[in-house]
Amino acid sequence: MKLSNLKPAKGSVKVSKRIGRGTGSGRGGTSTKGHKGAQSRTGYKTKMGFEGGQMPLQRRIPKFGFTSLNKVYFKAINLDIIQKLVEDKKITDITFEVLYTNGLVSKNDTVKVLGRGELKSKVNVKLSAFSKSAIDTITKLGGTTEIV
């Protein structure tokens, strides 16, 4: 085998149609675009989702649901994650900045502390919201919770 012998596998390369190269080619004249109408002309472009006058899929499917503009979506942080932070980084004051720098939340998140997991050390937490079980667990160990 030599580089001069290499060629693509049979059937893998298609010869493109040469359109608009005279009547003898069989694809001259209208150049496979049919006669007249917008689609035969230059600059033709349909609207996105246009289905030739048929009711488009986007309008055929029923709409439902509602998104409230006032609802607050919380990013949940559990006590076991806080405990892991305390063990790994030796942090006793948990704030949004601490969670952000450790990659647990993103910049625009609103954080709520939930009570899953075990907390073994005293921690002071200043975040957006807390569940009752999280407050109980943190205060039982002598820590504080503050809503910011």
Residues in the chain: 148
- Does residue 50 lie in a domain region? no
Domain tally, the chain: 1
Counting residues of the chain whose pLDDT is more than 90, the rounded percentage is 93
Q: What DSSP line would sit under the chain, residue for residue? A: --GGG--PPTTSSPPPP--SS-GGGTS-TTTTS-SSSGGGSTT--PPTT-BTTBPPHHHHSPP-----SSPPPEEEEEHHHHHHHHHHH---EEEHHHHHHTTSS-TT-EEEEE--S---S--EEEESEE-HHHHHHHHHTT-EEEE-
Kindly state whether residue 139 falls inside one of the protein's structural domains: yes
For 90-103, write each residue's pLDDT tens digit. Answer: 888 999 999 999 99
Given the DSSP bridges, would you call strands 74-78 and 110-114 parallel, antiparallel or unpaired?
parallel
Whether this model's pTM surpasses 0.75? no
The string of pLDDT tens digits covering residues 57-70 is 999 999 999 999 99
Res 1 pLDDT > 90 = no
Residue 110 lies in a domain: yes
Residue 16 within a domain: no
Query: For residue 36, is it left (φ>0), alpha (ψ between -120 and 50) or beta?
Result: left
pLDDT digits (tens, 9 = 90+) for 23-37: 999 999 999 999 999
Residue 10 is assigned to a structural domain of this protein? no
Mean pLDDT of all residues belonging to the chain: 93
Q: Is the pLDDT of residue 115 over 90?
A: yes
Identify the CATH number of the domain in which residue 107 sits: 3.100.10.10
Q: Report if residue 22 sits inside a domain.
A: no
Does 45 fall in a domain?
Answer: no
Does residue 103 fall inside a structural domain?
yes
